[in-house]
């Protein structure tokens, strides 16, 4: 893959640049972006499910899975179905970050941030594809386990629902971390009619848990 300017700009934000002069850092960032582009092999899969709102949560029809919590209920409000998405940069990205950490920690950190940024673009691409294929439908934005009160314990069932280990090499550890680490699972609501526009704030950012700015009561500027 080739990292876009958007990937790089967002990666710099993840590095904590926030309006600083990044000129001196750009040779390193460019080199890392090139290496990451070669090492990463982005893959994604998704599948549509009809949904049913029940007392326990939102049931995905034809499966054993029910999504619990208020946040996902609000997110899928007005939807008739949802798409489950699994995406990953694959093991190569992790391996590059790991290798670099043995002799160039700065490059490792920069690559890590760029990879976090790049997986967002992979999801964007997948979402764009869905929107084109379902052009007569209206889609919500991506909602992932860990956002709001949607539990991380959903990771294993979502991954197995799509058979994502077999199809894109995505696994979940006992502590509910996705491996390869630069991966995303997400739920996108599908509706027949236009949905009220919801604010997409910090809670729906993949960096939500780990964001230094948010912790300091601040905002990254993205």
Partner 1 sequence: MELKALLERKEFVYLDGAMGTMLFDKGLKMGEIPELLNLTKPEWIIDIHRQYIEAGSDIVYANTFGANRYKLSRSGKTVDEVVRAAIKNAKQAAEGANAYVALDVGPIGQLLEPAGTLSFEEAYDIFKEIVIAGEEADLIVFETMTDLYELKAAVLAAKENSDKPIITTMTFERNGRTFTGCSVSAMAYTLEGLGVDAMGINCSLGPKELMPLVEELAKDTSLPIVLKPNAGLPDTITGEYSIDEYEFAELMTELIPLGVKIVGGCCGTSPAFIRELKKAFDVKEYRKPLPSLKSVCCTPANTVFIDQPRVIGERINPTGKKRFKEALLNNDIDYILSQAIEQVHAGADILDVNVGLPGIDEKAMMVRAVMALQEVVDLPLQLDSTVPEVLEAGLRVYNGKPIVNSVNGEEKSLSTVLPLVKKYGAAVVGLCLDEEGIPKTAEKRFEIASRIVSRAEAIGISRRNVFIDCLTLTASAEQEGVMETLNALERVRKELGCQTVLGVSNISFGLPAREIVNSNFLTMALTKGLTLPIINPNIAAMMQSVRSYKLLANFDVGSVDFISHYGSTTPQPSAPAPAEGGNQNDLPYAIANGLKGEGARITRELLKTTDAMEIINGLLIPALDKTGSDFESGRIFLPQLIQSAGVAQSCFEVIKEHLAASGVKSESKGKIVLATVKGDVHDIGKNIVKVLLENYGYDVIDLGKDVDCQLVVDTAIKEDVHLVGLSALMTTTLPSMETTIKLLREQHPDCKVMVGGAVLTPDYAESIGADYYARDAKESCDIAKIVLG
Regarding 48 and contact with partner 1 (CB under 8 A), the answer is yes
Using the rule CB under 8 A, give the single segment among 24-32, 72-80, 117-125, 190-198 that binds partner 1. 24-32
Structure tokens at 14: 């993840």
Residue 109 CB, nearest distance to partner 1 (Å)? 6
Residues 74-113, one symbol each (x = binds partner 1 by CB under 8 A, - = not), give ----------------xxx-xx-xxx-xxxxxx-xxx-x-
d(CA 122, CA 210): 21
Considering only residues 5, 55, 64, 136, which one is a binding residue for partner 1 as defined by CB under 8 A? 64
Nearest CB to partner 1, comparing residues 45 and 77: 45
Nearest distance from C-beta of residue 196 to partner 1, angstroms: 26
- Contact in structure between 158 and 85 (CB atoms under 8 Å): no
Q: Residue 48: name the closest of 170, 122, 139 by CA.
A: 139
Structure tokens that stand for 167 in this block: 């199809």
| Residue 202 DSSP one-character state | G
In which region does residue 19 sit, left (phi positive, over 0), alpha (psi from -120 to 50) or beta (all else)?
left
Nearest of 84, 85, 81 to residue 58 by alpha carbon: 81
Where along the sequence are the contacts to partner 1 (CB under 8 A)? 15-18, 20, 24-25, 28, 41, 45-48, 62-65, 90-92, 94-95, 97-99, 101-106, 108-110, 112, 133, 146, 152, 157, 160-161, 165-169, 171, 173-177, 179-181, 209-212, 215
């Amino acid at each position: 893959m080739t990292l876009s300017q958007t990937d790089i700009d967002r990666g710099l934000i993840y590095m904590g640049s926030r309006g600083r002069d990044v000129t001196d850092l750009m040779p390193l960032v460019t080199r890392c972006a090139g290496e990451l582009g070669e090492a990463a092999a982005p893959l994604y899969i998704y599948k549509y499910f009809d949904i049913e709102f029940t007392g326990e949560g939102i049931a995905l029809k034809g499966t054993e899975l029910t999504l619990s919590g208020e946040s996902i209920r609000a997110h899928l409000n007005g939807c008739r179905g949802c798409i489950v998405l699994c995406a990953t940069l694959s093991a190569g990205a992790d391996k590059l970050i790991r290798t670099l950490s043995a002799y160039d920690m700065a490059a490792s950190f920069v690559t890590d941030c760029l990879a976090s940024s790049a997986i967002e673009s992979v999801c964007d691409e997948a979402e764009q594809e869905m929107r084109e294929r379902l052009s007569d439908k209206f889609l919500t934005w991506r909602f992932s386990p860990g956002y709001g009160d949607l539990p991380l314990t959903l990771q294993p069932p979502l991954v197995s629902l799509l058979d994502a280990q077999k199809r894109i090499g995505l696994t979940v550890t006992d502590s509910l971390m996705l491996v390869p680490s630069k991966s995303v699972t997400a739920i996108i609501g599908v509706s027949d009619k236009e949905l009220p526009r919801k604010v997409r704030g910090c809670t729906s950012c993949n960096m939500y848990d780990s964001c230094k700015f948010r912790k300091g009561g601040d905002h990254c500027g993205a």
